[in-house]
Amino acid sequence: MVKVAIFDYGAGNIFSLKSSLEKNEAEVDVITNLEKIKNYSGLLLPGVGNFDPAITSLHTSKIQFQDLVKNQIPVLGICLGMEMFFEKSEEGKLGGLGVLEGEVILLPNKFKIPHMGWNDLQIKKPSVLLEGVKEGSWVYFVHSYRVKPKNEDIIKADSDYGINVPAVIETQTLFGTQFHPEKSSKVGSIMIQNFLRVCKK
């Protein structure tokens, strides 16, 4: 059984993510620092909260997090969790984790914000996380910001909300989704399984 950790910023529902991982036969611990991260095969940064408080809760772990990514421990960042991979966000004043070059910007206001509900995936490139996921699959989004990676090759799928919203990013063992796989019914479960498979390696 693969053992993974969810980082808890103390600001929202991580219960659904935990249930989803457990349904896919992972052993899950909820952690609030990265001191014992070597005991786990993968880390999840959940997608609930606000940028600055979440970054503050990870602050003392920032160097450990960067090491973890260098050492290729698989990490899945969901929504805010993915946004924190980048250097900065318009949601907050504090710097991000900075493991990816680029920034996080507010969605254009020609449509309603937050972008909330089920939207379909346009798959752009082959991706480990998207193995077995069909083009046009519906996934659940709820966010007000989007990521803008410097290297666009890491965007594996996007979704149309007046503009192309990067929906899946992936580079080596670093994975991110703007939508919530744990809330995206069966399709989301496939992605959770794909992530856990990477953790097992």
Smaller CB separation from other proteins, 115 or 146: 115
Classify the C-alpha dihedral 78-171-57-193 as positive or negative.
Answer: positive
Whether 199 is catalytic is no
Given a contact cutoff of 8 angstroms between Cβ atoms, the answer to whether 178 and 165 are in contact is yes
Beta strands in 25-134 (DSSP E): 26-31, 42-45, 75-78, 88-89, 102-106, 115-120, 122-123
Shortest CB 138 distance to other proteins, Å = 4
Point out which residues bind other proteins (CB under 8 A).
11-13, 15-16, 19-20, 48-50, 53, 80, 109, 112-120, 136, 138, 140-144, 160-162, 180, 182-186, 188-189
List the one residue out of 98, 17, 117 whose CA is nearest residue 55: 98
Smaller CB separation from other proteins, 16 or 33: 16
Shortest CB 109 distance to other proteins, Å = 7
Whether 180 is catalytic is yes
Smaller CB separation from other proteins, 122 or 171: 122
Residues 91, 103, 170, 182: which is the catalytic one? 182
Classify the C-alpha dihedral 142-148-151-152 as positive or negative.
Answer: positive
Active site residues: 79, 180, 182
